[in-house]
Amino acid sequence: MSSRRLVGASALLLASLTLAACDAGSALSGDPDDGSSSSSGASGGSGGADAAGQKPAGRVATNVKRGATVGVDRVVQVTAKDARLTSVTLSSASGAVDGAIADDGARWTASDRLEPGETYTVKALAEGADGKPVRRTSRFETSPLSLEQQTYPSVSPLAGETVGVGMPVVVSFDVPVTDQAEFERHMTVTSKPAQRGTWHWLSATEAHWRPAMYWQAGTKVSVAVDVNGVAAGNGIYGQEDRVVDFEVGDAHVYKVNAKTHQMKVYSNGKLLRTLPITTGKPGFTTRSGTKVILEKFDRKRMNSETVGIAAGSAEAYDIDDVQWAMRVTYSGEFIHAAPWSTGSQGHANVSHGCTGMSTADAGWLYDLSRRGDVVEYTGTDRPMTLDNGYGDWNASFKDYAQGSALR
C-alpha cells in the first residue's frame, strides 16, 4: 500500500472512531427532567462497562410518563438499572403515598393507589454501580372524578363492636359495583381463631361474608376493604379504604317453635330458660328459618301501615311504646314485650308476625341479647329468605359460596 493510501485509511478510521465517541456521549447527556429516566452522567456506553473497564452509569425510571394524566387505579413503580434505590417519595396535596423498596434495591412499588384530580411528584434517589448518585424528579396528574364516578364503602359491624355469633360482615356501596370480582379481590376477612368463610353478593351495592358455621364465641375479627382507586366498572372507582376490627361475644342461640309456642334460650350451649311466646296468626304467619337480631329498641312505635296493613282496617294497630323490641327481619318481624297477649302466650299464635312475650321475659332477654345473636324459628310453612334482614344462614355454605364473584 502507498503511503498516501495508508494516510487516507488512517484518517478515515480516526474520523469513524471520533463519530462513535460523540454518539455515545450524546446518548447519556440531557436534562434528567425531560425524559423517562436519568443517569449519574458518567461517561461510557449505555449497556455496561466501557472499554477502560469503568462501571456503567445508573438509571432511574418510573412507569408514569412525566406530565401524563393517568387514572386513579395506577400503581406507581420506580425502577433502577445499574443502580440501587435508596429513597423514593410519592406525594400530592392530599399527602404522601406509602411504598416499599425491594430487597435488591431495583424497584419501589406504591402500596396504595391514587386520588382523583391531583398533581403528584415522584422523587427518587439511587446509588449507581459507579458509586455516583442518581436522582429523578417528575410530576404527573390524575383524572378528576365526579361523585357519580366514585363509590364509597361502609362496613358493619362497627369498629370495636361486640356482636353475636350469627353476625355477617356487611359491606355496602353507595354507587353500584359491576366489576364485583375485582372488588372482592381487595376485600378480606381474617379472624383469630381462623374460620373458613366466603363472600356473597346480594346485589351490586351489598356484599356479605359469613363463616361456614356460626362464629366461635370470643373470636376477634378484622375486615379490610382495600378498594381505594380500584376500578368498579363502568368508569366508577372505589374511594376510601376501610379497616374494621370487632369481636364476637357469647354464643346466644334462641330456638323458637311456633307449634309449641315456646322459645328456648341457650348461651354457649347451656339452656338458660324456656319462655312462653306467641307468633303470627293465620294470614300473618311468622317465617321459619334462621334470623339474626338486627337492632334493639328499649321502646318502639309500631304502626301497621309500615307493614302494609291499612289504617282503619280490622287488623290495623298503632302502639307508641312497645317495650324491649328487637328487629329480626327487614319486613317487620320483632321480638318484643306483648302484655296484651299474655293469655295466649304458650298456647296460641295471635300476633301479626312478631314474637311476643311477657314484659318481664322480654326485658330479661333484651338485657342478655346483642346485635348478631341467632334466633332459629321452626313450626311454620313460610320460609325465611337470604335478603330479609341478615338471612345469610338460610342456605348451605356450599350454596352460599355460589354468591361469590370469584367462585
Instruction: Tell me whether residue 336 is one of the annotated catalytic residues.
Output: yes
Which three cell numbers, joined as nine digits, stand for 285?
304467619
The DSSP output letter for 340 is G
SS3 assignment, position 185: coil
C-alpha cell at 60: 432511574
Q: Identify the bridge partners of residue 39 per DSSP, sorted by sequence position.
A: 59
> Which amino acid type is present at position 177?
V
Closest-CA residue to 256 (of 387, 389, 349): 349
What Cα–Cα distance (Å) separates residue 241 from each residue in 72, 93, 114, 155, 246? 14, 19, 12, 10, 17
Asked if 229 contacts 73 with a C-beta cutoff of 8 angstroms, the reply is yes
Contacts of 81 (CB under 8 A, 6+ apart): 37, 58, 59, 60, 61, 106
The C-alpha cell of 337 is what?
A: 314485650
Phi/psi class of residue 147: alpha, beta or left (left: φ > 0; alpha: ψ in -120 to 50)?
Answer: alpha
- Residue of 286, 300, 296 lying closest to 252 (CA atoms): 296
d(CA 243, CA 269): 32
Instruction: Report which of 79, 374, 98 is spatially closest to residue 213, judged by C-alpha positions.
Output: 374
Catalytic residue among 200, 208, 261, 336: 336
Q: Report the C-alpha gap between 76 and 97 in whole angstroms.
A: 10
Q: Which amino acid is present at 295?
A: E
Q: In what order do the strands lie in the sheet with 187-192?
A: 162-163, 242-248, 220-225, 187-192
22 is catalytic: no
Q: What are 244's three cell numbers?
A: 374494621
Catalytic residue among 200, 261, 352, 354: 354
Check: CB of residue 297 under 8 Å from CB of residue 320.
Answer: no
Region class of 82: left (phi > 0), else alpha (psi between -120 and 50), else beta: left
What amino acid positions are annotated as catalytic residues? 336, 354
